[in-house]
Amino acid sequence: MPNNALILVDIQNDYFPGGDWPVHRMETVAENAARLLGAARKDGTLVIHIRHEFASDAAPFFRPGSAGADIHALVAPVATEAVLTKSRANSFHGTDLLRILQEAKIEALTICGAMSQMCIDATARAAADHGFDVTVAEDACGAKEAEFNGVTLTADQVHAAFMVPLAMSYAKVVTTDSLLS
């Protein structure tokens, strides 16, 4: 069995109801991520938390130093878990993520968090490009509704539209229950 790590991406307060950029079903996403986190801690799996912070106080969400940019309490890190701050969708870009994983001789990653159409997609693709065996816990990932060129998509449609290509070429896309069984 390959040496695995759990990567929790952007499970931050602004994505929850009452936050500045609420994501569809974020409470369920975080509950599933918390289940994965509990199992990883029990098994001694390497856990890395990623948090996004924009460079400007004028950003619509994840403003520097704001409570909205904090990691949500459901998946709060413990002292032994790395917390990396990024400013781009790809969790590898401008962070020590790759170095940490290589030093720990990690071969496989389980990724969860938000948003499916941005940071989960970018991080999963980058992880595959770096040679990791990638699993995405799709029901521990959240998407936001979107509009493009007059076409409005629900959050569920956006989520599905991004899970399909990830499953085709970049990752094993599964449910939390299947990972924990």
- The string of pLDDT tens digits covering residues 169-178 is 999 999 999 9
Mean pLDDT of 153-169: 98
Instruction: Give 61's DSSP letter.
Output: S
Q: What share of the chain is helix, strand, coil (3-state, %, to 5)?
A: 40, 25, 35
pLDDT confidence of residue 175: 98
pLDDT confidence of residue 153: 98
pLDDT digits (tens, 9 = 90+) for 98-148: 999 999 999 999 999 999 999 999 999 999 999 999 999 999 999 999 999
pLDDT confidence of residue 2: 67
The answer to whether 70 touches 77, Cβ cutoff 8 Å, is no
Structural domain of residue 71, as residue ranges? 4-180
Amino acid (1-letter code) at residue 155: A
Amino acid (1-letter code) at residue 24: H
Q: How many domains does the chain have?
A: 1
pLDDT confidence of residue 14: 98
Distance (Å, rounded) from C-alpha 116 to C-alpha 176? 15
CATH number of the domain residue 110 falls in: 3.40.50.850
